A and B are shown apart, each in its own frame.
Chain A
C-alpha cells in the first residue's frame, strides 16, 4: 500500500487543498484542451509544428485527436472552401460540449486573400468562433498564445452553471 507522507503541521493535518467547484472544473478543462486535427491548408503546417517537439503543445495538455468525439477545441487551420463547409458543421456538431473553436489565420477569419466564389468568407459564417488568430500563416507562438488566451477564457467562465450552448443561430 502506498505510504503517503502527510505533513501534520500544515492545513490542519489534512492532505487536502480547498477550492471551489468552478475552479477545479475549469482547471481540468483548461489544462487538457484536446484539439481536433483539422489542418485545411498551409496553417495546418504551423499547427503541426506547434504540436511537435520544438514548440510542444503537450506542455499545455493540448493533444491532437483524430476524432471530433474526443476533442474539445477545433482549430480551423486554413482555407475553408464552400465545398467543405458542410463538413466543418458536421464535425463541429459531433464534438461534445463544452467545445471551443479557434479560427487560425486570415483565410479562416475572413477568407483572406481568396476573395473568390469558392471560399467561405470567414468560418464564423458556419460555426461560432471563440478566438481569431491573425496572420498568414500565424507563427506557432501565435497559436500557443491563442491557446493560453483560450485557457484564460475558460477559467473566467462559471463552470458550475449549466453552460449556455453556443449556437450560431
Chain B
C-alpha cells in the first residue's frame, strides 16, 4: 500500500490541471508578448486564466500578478508594503512567530534595512486573535502579515476579523494563503485582504507557479526586473502552461471544496482520535480551527526522522518538524512557537491527507504509527527514562 500523506508539502496534479496545460506546450506555445497568432492566442489564454483565478478570489483580474510560486509572492508582497510604508515614514511591521520562512526571512531582511518587526504570540493552540493585532497596531505600522492556515499544524486564523481590524486602522493586510487557497473560502473583499499569496502545487496544480493578489492602488515593488510582463511588475516570459494548470486546479478545488472538506474533516478526526490513543502523545494546534486535511502530533521519547523512515518502509509518506529532517539543529520553529519543548518537538509527525484518502488508509496509518512509535520507544533510552521516572513526562497522558 502506498499512502501519500504529505499534501501540505505538495500535491498530486489533478487530471483536469494536466489536461489544461497540455495544449500550451506543443500547440499554443507562442510567447504571450509576440504579436502573431499563436502568441496572441497564448496571451488570450493567459488573460482568461487571470479572470478565472480572480473569480475564485473575489477580486478583479488586474489585481492578479503571476509569480513563480508562494515564496516569490510573499517576498514581493512584503517588500512592496515596506516600500510604501517607508515612503510615509512608517516602518513597523506586525507578523507572527510561526509564519513560513518566505515571510520570516524577508522580515529579517527588512529588519536589517531599519524596519521594526513585531512577531505576535500564537499561543499554545496556534491561533492569533484580532484583539492582539488591534493592540499591536501603532501610528507607524505599515503592514500586518499573518498566514491564513499554518503549513505545519494547520491552524486557521480569523482572517476576516484581522482584516477588518487592519482596514479600520488603515494598515495594509497581507495573508500567506498558500495552505488555504483551494481548501478554504477566500473572498478578498469580504475578508478585507489587501494582499494575498498562493501557490498552485498546493491545490493539485503544477509546481513553480503562484499568484500575488494586490488590491488596486497598491504599488508593487519588483523582485524580478526585466521585460514589461505583468504590467511591468514581474518580468519574465509567463509560464503559460503552468498558469493554465493553476487556473483549472483552483477552479476545480473551489468547486469541490464543500464536499471534499466535509469528507476529509471526518477522516482527519478519525485519524486524530486514533493517534490520540497512543500514550504520551498530543495533537499540535487547535482541534477546531484547523485545516480539514491536517493532523500533527508530538510523541514523547522518539525522534521524527526515524519515525518517517520506518513509515516510508510501510508505504506512508509523511513529514516531521524534527531537527534531523530540517537539516538544521533546531526543531520546527512552528512547534517551538506553540510552546513545545525541544525534546518533544523532535518527535513530531505531520500527516496531511488528500482527496484520495479513505477510511481504510486512515486505519492503516493509525496501526502503522502505533507500531513504529512503540518499536522506536523500545530502543530509546530517553523513553526508558520517562517510563522509569528519571525524567518528567511533558504530556499528561
> A and B, one complex?
no
Chain A residues at the B interface, C-beta cutoff of 8 Å: none
